[in-house]
Structure 1
Amino acid sequence: METTQEHGPRRWLILIVLCLSTLVLVVDNMALTVAVPSLTTDLGASAQDIQWILESYMLVFAGLLLAAGSMSDRFGRRKVMIIGLALFGIASLVATFADSPAELIAARVAMGIGGALIMPSTLSILITVFDETERPKAMAAWSAVAMLGLVGGPILGGALISWFSWGSVFLINVPIAVVAIVAALVLMPESKGPWLRPDPLGAILSAVGMVALVWTINDLPKNGLSHASTVTALGIAVVALTGFVVWEMRTESPMVPLGLFRNRNFSGGSLSLTLVQVGNGGLLLVLTQYMQFGLGYSPTKAGMAFIPMALASLVFNTVGATFGQKIGNRAMVGLGLTIAAAGFLMLSIAPDGGPVMLTAALFVLGAGGGLAMPAAIAALMGEVPPEQAGVGSALNDTIQQAGAALGVAVLGSILASRFTGAMPDSAPAGASLSIGEALGVSAATGDGVLAETARTAFSSAMSTTFVVSACGVLAAAVLAVLVMRDRKADPTESGAEQAGAAPPDAVPAAR
């Protein structure tokens, strides 16, 4: 494997490039949630169109992550990241000027391809550039930027929509991508793992299986198992993913080191983050609709409402990175996720508590995430061998994306069904499908009672959704405590594990 660890100040400039590359992905997805009401009106998008605008990206992104991670290890992580940034920037420019839902969905698909090329490379380059002593600090900074994008995206998106139009949430990606590309070419050395024989069958099976799985997750809440497309997609997912696992365990040159899951820290940290993604699935989508449709906030005010969450995330991210090394990653992940679950429960009663409760809930949620995320990422990525950093990162990203897709589908279905159930049978046709359509009918007919009824129904549906989210995040906390192990505190682990290396049977030997 090529060694790229830097010992001069340039390594911190490289970290800035990695943070920019991650930021462009996170900000785009989060800012888009604020733009949903505006683009719904301007493009005449239906509820199904909105779902595909949001999830077409996730579908492609999840399907290509494993192959992209393997490509980055084989052909060069910097090269693959730059190609992804270029594609993401071009597709964002196309999305800016889309004038129909179909065009926007097509642009989002291309952005998903670019994102899949970018994401595994950022964390894998970080692992190879920084040595073990500085890696926790670098990961904390990388996590802080990711969290800043997560909660700052709606703020930026709200401001851009108020000043310009919803297309600006895509246009902002272009200069960020350009700067990241130039900086990568100037500052970043190339790194790659040892050359392995290509695994085209593994790449095909993983892509087909993940796309079919996410498709099934999206389709199941709407159609159940009675619909032919759902059954077909589920069958394809089971066959392809089973075939992928069997093939990867038998082939002499596997694309993905599935043996990583034998390591408790990798499996516990990764699966905990997956459950968190399930809980987080509908957070911003639900809240931005509640703030704008329910509370009458402007896009800018809705974005500004997330500032407490952003501040808490940044402050407690630093606390988590510092104390995680002292009290152990397992305790820090468990504590942080428990606090985050409390934040979701507070959100479930926010409609009754008013803006003060909403602000407090977002602060608690940000604090919990800030404590948990750096520790979880440090624990699981600390078990990935540097020569497999790209595909190891992609493996973690992939199962988290599956969790995010499951969260959006399940929580979105719960929100929609609870909203429809809370609306009276006498409501006009279409008004029971979503709060956006109900308020549209109310505006057209001048029916103020319908608007108030829709807002009450949405608040009730939101409360149920966030209770489910709290349960998912609390389950993640329990899983982390039961499965993860802290090397310093566990005398049964081998010396290799205590030194920070993966156990000998954790990954297949490099060929």
Structure 2
Amino acid sequence: MAPHDMAPHDTVHRRRWAILAVLLCSLLVVVLGNSVLNVAMKKISQPAPTGLGATQSQLEWAINAYTLVFAGMLFTAGLLGDRLGRKKVLLCGMTVFAVGSALASVAGSPEELIAYRALMGFGGAFVMPATLAIIMNVFEREEQPRAIGIWAGAVGLAIAIGPVTGGLLLSRFWWGSVFLINLPIVAAALIAMTVLVPDSKDPRPGRLDPAGVLLSVVGLVLLVYGIIKGGQLADFTVPEVYGTVGGGLLVLTAFVLHERRSTHPALDVRYFRNPAFSAAVTSLGLVFFGLMGVTFFMVFYTQSARGFTPLQSGLLMLPLAAAQMVFAPRARLAVERFGARAVCTTGMVVMAATMAGYSLMDTDTPIWGLEVLFLFQGTAMAHITPPATVSIMQSLPREKAGSGSAVNNTFRQVGGALGVAVLGSLLSTTYRRGISGDLDAVPGLTDEARRTAGESIEATLGVADRLGPQGRHLVGAAREAFVHAMHVTVLCGAAVALAGAAVAFLFLPAHDAARAGARTARPGAEKEQAGAGQ
């Protein structure tokens, strides 16, 4: 029996569902760390002592500092888990994430918050690959789709808990209290993981590939940094932006060439020859491009443009969360009946339709319309993420699960970074153009004050508040300009989701082809099958 087909130990197999429940705590923590920040962004943007007085670009960096470090370290973290042991890496990652959360809660400036968010990203990078890799090692192949569906459904639980709990905390405590949600969960999870979760690693890791690891880290960091900087500057033609993006792509190209020629590659790039594998990672990247970009500015729509409190804004997200919780664990049933291609393609089309639907939302549109869109968006996500993740993970040998999980999460994070940067840049640029005329009409504003006020709706509303009665007309103008910018942005996100639907339709397998693709994706699978038949 080949190593990647070996069943888990009987004792581990008997407690596999308890192990999954514990592992879901780590996923819960990582998702909470981001979802609570979205709710708190409006408050963090307010002047001290209420907030930190963070600008729109600083808020983007608070999100993207996490993404930059997370994406840059993911692949290396997956490799270390395969080599050193996934349980050890998971426990270390959880501890670092908790320390970063505690420090973020007491940050004294936007710069400190950005630094502590980067530390959280470093810890999270070691959590996510290990969690999914352990799931692949404690479950039999036929149970893996169900386990991954539950794993993906837990994202819905985190989306529900984060904004609601964050809103409750913000109504009673300071903005940093939202980061303390993680600490009791981490404490309980570390104890349970130590007792229940088995350690696993690649039994034959081979020699290290330091050149490949270095190239992957440098390439990903340069690429994501350039994307984020372009969004911050609202201009992708600046040398600092296209230089770092181009440099990142060149380094990643060198990484691929190195891995193809290496006798002990950190990542066997031959896996990408399987269309199902490549289509799955591309689809995940594109769907998270749209999701993260829309999520970033939706909090400003509900709170700044519509006037809801942070708690109310969190409660509005419940349909999206509930749909993921209900449908993600059952997505495997749809895949068994209709095939991965049909399920993922339909999910991406529905995702595109919901994003386009946001363009119908105005400052006085009945809020139930937004709830319906959230419900369909969550349903779409629930039918994209699990089958795409299963396709990726089952394309790899069991002992390489950490590397496979890293590839899965890297494409998600880079896609999310692109979404926040590109869609955030489009939103900022469109909003600035829409509000510039109204700001020009305000007497006494310096050029610098006018530029800062036009950066975001919160900045404009802050100027309007300071001006008193003279600035009242800016409130309505800011909301109208923001809603128009949101309409333009969501239509761009819808186009990206349609591109993902095309990729899924053209390259994902259907029915039995999915299983065959997963078997033949592994280099040497044909030889193993031949040997088994002799």
User: Does structure 2 conserve the Cα–Cα contact (< 8 Å) formed by 1:385 and 1:501?
Assistant: no
Aligned partner of 2:383 in structure 1 is: 371
* Percent of residue pairs identical: 36
**Equivalent residue runs for 1:37-186 within 5 Å:** 37-41=42-46, 42-186=51-195
Deviations 1:189-240 (A, max 9, x none): 1100122211111111111110000111112342646534324423431332
Aligned partner of 1:29 in structure 2 is: 34
User: Does structure 1 conserve the Cα–Cα contact (< 8 Å) formed by 2:341 and 2:504?
Assistant: yes
Q: Alignment length, in residue pairs?
A: 504
Q: Distance in 2 between matches of 1:374 and 1:22?
A: 14
Aligned partner of 2:209 in structure 1 is: 199
- The DSSP-based 3-state class of the residue aligned with 1:501 is helix
2:242 is aligned with 1:211: no
Q: Distance in 1 between matches of 2:298 and 2:273?
A: 38
Letter of the 1:356 partner, please give it: W
Deviations 1:249-275 (A, max 9, x none): 111111112221111221111101111
User: Does structure 1 conserve the Cα–Cα contact (< 8 Å) formed by 2:290 and 2:419?
Assistant: yes
Letter of the 1:59 partner, please give it: L
Bigger mean CA deviation after superposition, 398-407 or 433-442: 398-407
Aligned partner of 2:445 in structure 1 is: none
Q: Distance in 2 between matches of 1:253 and 1:8?
A: 31
Letter of the 1:198 partner, please give it: L
User: Does structure 1 conserve the Cα–Cα contact (< 8 Å) formed by 2:45 and 2:55?
Assistant: yes
Q: Distance in 1 between matches of 2:426 and 2:155?
A: 28
Q: Distance in 2 between matches of 1:196 and 1:311?
A: 44
Q: Distance in 1 between matches of 2:45 and 2:114?
A: 13
Deviations 1:149-177 (A, max 9, x none): 23542223222222322212211111111
Aligned CA-pair RMSD: 2.1
2:384 is aligned with 1:360: no
Q: By how many angstroms is 1:3 displaced?
A: 6.2
Q: By how many angstroms is 1:61 displaced?
A: 0.6
Q: 427, 446, 450: which one pairs with 2:474? A: 450
- The DSSP-based 3-state class of the residue aligned with 1:433 is coil
Q: Distance in 2 between matches of 1:384 and 1:504?
A: 6
Q: 16, 21, 35: which one pairs with 1:16? A: 21
User: Does structure 1 conserve the Cα–Cα contact (< 8 Å) formed by 2:397 and 2:522?
Assistant: no
Q: By how many angstroms is 1:126 displaced?
A: 0.4
2:272 is aligned with 1:267: no
- The DSSP-based 3-state class of the residue aligned with 2:142 is coil
- The DSSP-based 3-state class of the residue aligned with 1:196 is coil
User: Does structure 1 conserve the Cα–Cα contact (< 8 Å) formed by 2:13 and 2:139?
Assistant: no
User: Does structure 2 conserve the Cα–Cα contact (< 8 Å) formed by 1:265 and 1:485?
Assistant: yes
Q: 338, 341, 364: which one pairs with 1:327? A: 338
Q: 268, 282, 287: which one pairs with 1:257? A: 268
Q: Distance in 1 between matches of 2:235 and 2:526?
A: 39
Deviations 1:284-323 (A, max 9, x none): 2211111111111000000001111122222222442322
Q: Distance in 1 between matches of 2:234 and 2:486?
A: 22
- The DSSP-based 3-state class of the residue aligned with 1:134 is helix
2:400 is aligned with 1:388: yes
Aligned partner of 2:447 in structure 1 is: none
Q: Distance in 1 between matches of 2:22 and 2:361?
A: 38
Aligned partner of 2:531 in structure 1 is: none
Deviations 1:85-134 (A, max 9, x none): 01001111111111111211111111111011111111111001000122
Q: Distance in 2 between matches of 1:253 and 1:397?
A: 23
Q: 272, 295, 299: which one pairs with 2:306? A: 295
- The DSSP-based 3-state class of the residue aligned with 2:141 is coil
Q: Where in structure 2 are there 5+ consecutive unaligned residues?
A: 443-449, 529-534
Letter of the 1:359 partner, please give it: E
Q: Distance in 2 between matches of 1:465 and 1:83?
A: 39
Shift in alpha-carbon separation, 1:5–1:455, aligned structure 2, 3 A: farther
Letter of the 1:325 partner, please give it: E
Q: 456, 461, 476: which one pairs with 1:434? A: 456
Shift in alpha-carbon separation, 1:509–1:416, aligned structure 2, 3 A: farther
Q: Distance in 1 between matches of 2:92 and 2:523?
A: 34
Bigger mean CA deviation after superposition, 207-216 or 171-180: 171-180
Aligned partner of 1:505 in structure 2 is: 523
Q: 232, 242, 262: which one pairs with 2:253? A: 242
Q: By how many angstroms is 1:465 displaced?
A: 1.0
Shift in alpha-carbon separation, 1:72–1:11, aligned structure 2, 3 A: same
Q: By how many angstroms is 1:359 displaced?
A: 1.3
Shift in alpha-carbon separation, 1:440–1:176, aligned structure 2, 3 A: same
Aligned partner of 1:188 in structure 2 is: 197
User: Does structure 2 conserve the Cα–Cα contact (< 8 Å) formed by 1:4 and 1:189?
Assistant: no
User: Does structure 2 conserve the Cα–Cα contact (< 8 Å) formed by 1:3 and 1:191?
Assistant: no
- The DSSP-based 3-state class of the residue aligned with 2:453 is coil
Q: TM-score, normalised by structure 2?
A: 0.90
Deviations 1:336-369 (A, max 9, x none): 2211221111112111633121111111111111
Letter of the 1:477 partner, please give it: A
- The DSSP-based 3-state class of the residue aligned with 1:444 is helix
Q: 230, 244, 247: which one pairs with 2:241? A: 230
- The DSSP-based 3-state class of the residue aligned with 1:43 is coil
Shift in alpha-carbon separation, 1:226–1:311, aligned structure 2, 3 A: closer
Bigger mean CA deviation after superposition, 449-458 or 468-477: 468-477
- The DSSP-based 3-state class of the residue aligned with 2:175 is coil
Shift in alpha-carbon separation, 1:426–1:234, aligned structure 2, 3 A: same
Letter of the 2:454 partner, please give it: S
User: Does structure 2 conserve the Cα–Cα contact (< 8 Å) formed by 1:419 and 1:458?
Assistant: yes
Q: By how many angstroms is 1:29 displaced?
A: 0.6
User: Does structure 2 conserve the Cα–Cα contact (< 8 Å) formed by 1:290 and 1:459?
Assistant: yes
User: Does structure 2 conserve the Cα–Cα contact (< 8 Å) formed by 1:337 and 1:372?
Assistant: yes
Q: Distance in 2 between matches of 1:406 and 1:456?
A: 26
Letter of the 2:273 partner, please give it: R
Letter of the 2:509 partner, please give it: R
Bigger mean CA deviation after superposition, 59-68 or 38-47: 38-47
2:340 is aligned with 1:316: no
- The DSSP-based 3-state class of the residue aligned with 1:281 is helix
2:437 is aligned with 1:425: yes
Q: TM-score, normalised by structure 1?
A: 0.94
Q: Distance in 2 between matches of 1:504 and 1:84?
A: 29
Q: Distance in 2 between matches of 1:284 and 1:223?
A: 19
Q: By how many angstroms is 1:22 displaced?
A: 0.9
User: Does structure 2 conserve the Cα–Cα contact (< 8 Å) formed by 1:270 and 1:380?
Assistant: yes
- The DSSP-based 3-state class of the residue aligned with 2:328 is helix
2:293 is aligned with 1:277: no
Deviations 1:446-485 (A, max 9, x none): 2211011000100111111111111111211121111011
Q: Distance in 2 between matches of 1:212 and 1:3?
A: 40
Aligned partner of 1:468 in structure 2 is: 492
Q: Distance in 2 between matches of 1:318 and 1:390?
A: 22
Q: Distance in 2 between matches of 1:508 and 1:425?
A: 66
